A and B are shown apart, each in its own frame.
Chain A
Amino acid sequence: KQEVTQIPAALSVPEGENLVLNCSFTDSAIYNLQWFRQDPGKGLTSLLLIQSSQREQTSGRLNASLDKSSGRSTLYIAASQPGDSATYLCAGDSGAGSYQLTFGKGTKLSVIP
Chain B
Amino acid sequence: DTAVSQTPKYLVTQMGNDKSIKCEQNLGHDTMYWYKQDSKKFLKIMFSYNNKELIINETVPNRFSPKSPDKAHLNLHINSLELGDSAVYFCASSQFRANYGYTFGSGTRLTVV
List residues of A whose CB falls within 8 A of some B CB: 31-32, 34, 36, 38, 41-44, 46, 49, 51-52, 87, 89, 91, 96-97, 99-103, 105-106
**With A and B bound together, what is the CA distance between A46 and B102 in angstroms?**
8
Query: What secondary structure prevails in chain B residues at the interface with A?
Result: strand
Top 4 nearest A-B pairs (CB, nearest first) are: A43-B106, A51-B99, A49-B101, A44-B104
**With A and B bound together, what is the CA distance between A52 and B48 in angstroms?**
21
How many residues of B sit at the interface, in one of the four size bands? 20 to 34
Task: Check: B107 CB closer than 8 A to any chain A CB.
Answer: yes
Q: Are A99 and B99 in contact (CB under 8 A)?
A: no
**Given pairs A34-B102, A43-B90, A89-B43, 9 additional interface contacts (CB within 8 A):** A34-B101, A42-B106, A43-B107, A44-B104, A46-B103, A49-B100, A100-B33, A103-B43, A106-B41
**With A and B bound together, what is the CA distance between A44 and B23 in angstroms?**
15
Pull 25 A–B residue pairs with CB atoms less than 8 Å apart, ordered by A.
Answer: A32-B101, A32-B102, A34-B102, A36-B104, A41-B109, A43-B90, A43-B104, A43-B107, A44-B90, A46-B102, A46-B103, A49-B101, A87-B41, A89-B43, A97-B97, A99-B31, A99-B50, A99-B56, A100-B33, A100-B45, A101-B33, A101-B92, A101-B94, A105-B40, A105-B42
Contact of B96 among A51, A52, A99, A102 (CB under 8 A): A99
User: Which chain B residue shows the least CB distance to A48?
Assistant: B101
List residues of B whose CB falls within 8 A of some A CB: 31, 33, 40-45, 48, 50, 55-56, 90, 92, 94, 96-97, 99-107, 109
Q: Are B42 and A103 in contact (CB under 8 A)?
A: yes
Q: Are B105 and A43 in contact (CB under 8 A)?
A: yes
In the assembled complex, the CB of B8 is this many whole angstroms from the nearest CB of chain A, namely 14
User: Which chain A residue shows the least CB distance to B50?
Assistant: A99
User: Which chain B residue shows the least CB distance to A40?
Assistant: B41
Q: Are B55 and A99 in contact (CB under 8 A)?
A: yes
User: Which chain B residue shows the least CB distance to A36?
Assistant: B104
Contact of B99 among A46, A49, A91, A102 (CB under 8 A): A49
